[in-house]
Structure 1
Amino acid sequence: MGSAILYGTGTILVIAIAASFIFALLLRFTSLEESSINLAVTIISFLALFIGGFMSGGKGKEKGLVLGGFTGLIFSLGVFLFQYLGYDSLFSIKQLIYHGCFILTCMMGGILGVNISGGKTS
């Protein structure tokens, strides 16, 4: 179960790093402004967490709700620690709502991942 959660969390991080790199290049070399890509960043964030939960559920092959939930929780905890230790600030109410939705999205991905992978075979 632990390896499935780490696999899903790693998938989320890889997607997030790739998306950040692409958005950074777009912001640097085009006339786009940060405010014009907020929706795209939010959509990519939710997709990354859904895919991470899906990978976690597919790897674990059972208990997709739990695997997805822990995967989303580990991601949110990592973001919280980075923000708290790096910037000395807690989550705002808006961020709490976002991360709650991130965890729910990851749980849905985990459920779907288990169901598509075929579940545990005895």
Structure 2
Amino acid sequence: MDKIEESKNYGSAILFGVISIFTLAIITSLIFSFILRFTSAQESSLQFIITAVSFVTLFVGGFISGGKGKQKGWLLGGLTGLVYSLIIFLFQYLGYDRLFNMEQIIYHTCFILTAMMGGILGVNMTTSKTRNA
């Protein structure tokens, strides 16, 4: 595989991962907004669950990008998490004129590491299937 084709494959894998992250985020946001609207639950009582779902979403995005790329899962997952964090940062900076605070930096660092782990597992799950076939 030449370098240009490999770069396109990596870019496609990262794009699929980021799209899946935002799709899952939109779906879960809609679910949580319905829960908050139609029940007596408070946002503070769901904070841990929302955070856990965020990490699962980043893991799934990394998993998808690693599975699509079929190699270097740590790189694909890490770049997927980095692109996600960069989009969130740009949205916050350009839209609200605020930088990340220390808590957000820690969260996004953990998001990138979680997506990296998902990418590693995604590569290993898909390559083991192709080896057995």
Structures share fold, TM-score greater than 0.5: yes
Structure 1: 5+ residue runs without aligned partners?
A: none
Structure 2: 5+ residue runs without aligned partners?
A: 1-9
1:26-65 equivalent positions in 2, closer than 5 A: 26-65=35-74
Structure 1 match to 2:7: none
> Does 2:118 match 1:109?
yes
TM-align CA RMSD: 1.2
Q: 1:68 aligns with which of 59, 70, 77?
A: 77
d(CA) in 1 for partners of 2:126, 2:16: 15
| Amino acid of the structure 1 residue aligned with 2:27 | A
Instruction: Tell me the TM-score normalised to structure 1 length.
Output: 0.96
Task: After superposition, give the CA deviation of every residue in 1:8-51 in whole Å (9 maximum; x if it has no partner).
Answer: 00110011000000000011111011101100110000000000
Instruction: Tell me the TM-score normalised to structure 2 length.
Output: 0.88
Q: How many residues align?
A: 121
Structure 1 segments of 4 or more deviating over 6 A?
none
Alpha-carbon distance, 1:86 to partner: 1.0
d(CA) in 2 for partners of 1:4, 1:56: 5
